[in-house]
Structure 1
């Protein structure tokens, strides 16, 4: 009866095999998922690091408990040994090149192994990135070929040669384990396919614009302005008719307003049929405006871009990077508007300049005032085209919609 491997070697063999099947199932789908596959990338990296750790343990066990003697010589035995060496190179090389790939990427995405243990980046130069990326892909395909050769060799020995070699990896020559252990490989592959996202249906187009303003993220700013133009023109004509006889002049300089704690600036963007939503924790607004004379408005909003969060630690780690907000070089974004126009009862439109990531572009916001006297509630929205500002300019942003919906609400008190 052939000598068996140690129980530690057997356990590691089947555990690594099942994890490799999982990696193959997930890895095939990652490239086409864009940012929608962010969660899967984290799983892929976590399982890859686990395979690396288990493979190192397997190498240690191999020297601690030497493998059984070969049952076959000649070129067949040499091929089997070459496949084994190749598999070890694959199990070590694939995680290491993946780690190097992540460490040298332009966008430094943090990795938390299984959402718990942070994985540091390797101290490698950016020039290594292309080598690591190409090497990782090549090693993956070679590994799949070696994996299949290894399985074919085991079946050859067990079915054709009937030399009992496969029992060296089955504790106690158990027939149940002979079925159950290889089934773990199939289960690993099935689990990898099961966590892949379902195909996303194309969102239905927006048919109309509500009078209350733009539907967040579904229409462009130009479409919203054009749709609202008839109403705005009607208001403007009515205002002109009522002021032809006499123009009411402001009684004095427009009042300044202080934003009260508890306000919010939020944002949302489509992502392959889903929506990513977040907000900025730190921002300030300097507002001067007489609601009865909106042309007196002087508005400046300053946003701390590093305070952006979408409620996910992984994605939050990406936002300050160059692919998105580039907050190291451009820590703040500003919106400045001189003057506003009434677009309905207590409704206004302000056209100004948005400076984001070092790029200045025209931008319009819409807002509504409620309340009276010294306290006003402000709610509003805007739709921002992200690409002119270079926001979302990398591979992980392929699934993002080109328009970002911004909403804001806060309370302001008039300064005495």
Structure 2
């Protein structure tokens, strides 16, 4: 009986084993995605791309099923009916899981752009946001049903081939060879193992904070009468009031400083034991200040929020979305300050206002100046309470630290 058993077409055989290996990969990865948080972002993109691949391959498999003749059923009665039901369920699983996943992504509050294997953009489905919970619940339910059907399908095939000895598996082999019989089912195991191997390593319990430029910003809540930092010689810095009293009165308006190309504004935030770091590629600054008379300072910095990047196109799309910077409605963040005060030998502190996502709050920065004359280097930092501005207001931001460190550095010349 096994010798005379008709085989499926070679194309149908290829699609069968390719889909099976990809499903095994998806099952291995899907179990872990929810617990990975931001560390699983790249893997989540693979999960989506492979899901769409399964959808496309399944559509091709259905077309070939009616195009090429199929072998006749080997069993009738209730066993045959059960086999047909399992097959039908598997097709629904292979179509339903990718479609509900696509719907889940399309209706999520955070619009994460999807690129098919990082190349072809995949549009979101035109579904209402109210469908998100249904898509999420359906995706999880279909996945578990699919795993059960997958196991039943494998058990049924082994029952026929091993226990009944009718050679059923030869129908899904390109040739009657023990090599094919070993290699093709091994693809399923390989897909599962690969899905487990590429999972990110567990997050460390603690991670060192990034090294920021000199003059690291203290907490926003630092009292104004707190002790000033010591200067380079180890002596207490002269209080700003005494320093200003001893200095000569300014001879005229403070000089304006032109920011030179090559400056940077970066940000750092903790996320479950890791540190996410990024920066802004487009920003401008208008600065007027006499270093000898810091109270003369007039500072305005404008940051193009759409230029935020953490080095990953998918995450960058999230940063511009409403959960984080909301760049479409509020394209710029603006910091302004009138006046500054000494905070050490070469250090200064400026208290002003930060406007971000339509919210304006008091904000202070610290910075140091190095160099003399008309050429100076500036480095500094700030600590921003993100929740005050509605930055990171969704479920995907739950693991982020409440405060974000911002650092900046640039050269400036007096005009």
Provide TM-score, normalisation by structure 2: 0.91
Deviations along 1:40-96, one digit per CA (max 9) or x if unpaired, are 110000000111111011001100113211111111111110000000000011111
- Residue 56 (str. 1) matches residue 59 (str. 2): yes
Please, which of 35, 40, 50 is the counterpart of residue 37 of structure 1? Answer: 40
Relative to structure 2, which stretch is displaced further, 309-318 or 189-198?
309-318
Please, which of 135, 139, 145 is the counterpart of residue 136 of structure 1? Answer: 139
Please, which of 198, 203, 210 is the counterpart of residue 200 of structure 1? Answer: 203
Unaligned runs of 5+ in 2: none
Contact 2:214 2:379 in 1 (8 A): no
Unaligned runs of 5+ in 1: none
Please, which of 93, 115, 122 is the counterpart of residue 112 of structure 1? Answer: 115
- Residue 285 (str. 1) matches residue 288 (str. 2): no
Please, which of 4, 29, 54 is the counterpart of residue 7 of structure 2? Answer: 4
In structure 1, C-alpha distance between the alignment counterparts of 2:290 and 2:268, rounded to whole Å: 31
Deviations along 1:249-278, one digit per CA (max 9) or x if unpaired, are 222222222222332212222334433322
- Call closer, same or farther: CA 1:6–1:243 in 2, change over 3 Å: closer
CA drift at 1:221: 4.8
Please, which of 186, 189, 210 is the counterpart of residue 186 of structure 1? Answer: 189
In structure 2, C-alpha distance between the alignment counterparts of 1:94 and 1:318, rounded to whole Å: 24
CA drift at 1:387: 2.3
Relative to structure 2, which stretch is displaced further, 186-195 or 165-174?
165-174
Relative to structure 2, which stretch is displaced further, 58-67 or 77-86?
58-67
**1:269: which partner in 2?**
269
Secondary structure in 1 matching 2:125: coil
Contact 1:213 1:224 in 2 (8 A): no
**1:339: which partner in 2?**
339
- Residue 13 (str. 1) matches residue 16 (str. 2): yes
- Residue 231 (str. 1) matches residue 230 (str. 2): yes
CA drift at 1:31: 0.9
Please, which of 69, 74, 79 is the counterpart of residue 72 of structure 2? Answer: 69
In structure 2, C-alpha distance between the alignment counterparts of 1:12 and 1:210, rounded to whole Å: 52
How many residue pairs align between the two structures? 408
In structure 1, C-alpha distance between the alignment counterparts of 2:169 and 2:223, rounded to whole Å: 69
Relative to structure 2, which stretch is displaced further, 300-309 or 14-23?
300-309
- Call closer, same or farther: CA 1:89–1:224 in 2, change over 3 Å: farther
CA drift at 1:337: 1.4
- Residue 312 (str. 1) matches residue 312 (str. 2): yes
Provide TM-score, normalisation by structure 1: 0.91
- Call closer, same or farther: CA 1:249–1:205 in 2, change over 3 Å: same
- Indicate the RMSD between aligned Cα atoms, in angstroms: 2.5
**1:325: which partner in 2?**
325
In structure 2, C-alpha distance between the alignment counterparts of 1:192 and 1:339, rounded to whole Å: 57
CA drift at 1:205: 7.0
**1:367: which partner in 2?**
367
Contact 1:211 1:228 in 2 (8 A): no
Relative to structure 2, which stretch is displaced further, 36-45 or 112-121?
112-121
Deviations along 1:329-352, one digit per CA (max 9) or x if unpaired, are 111111111221111122111122
Secondary structure in 2 matching 1:410: strand
Secondary structure in 1 matching 2:343: strand
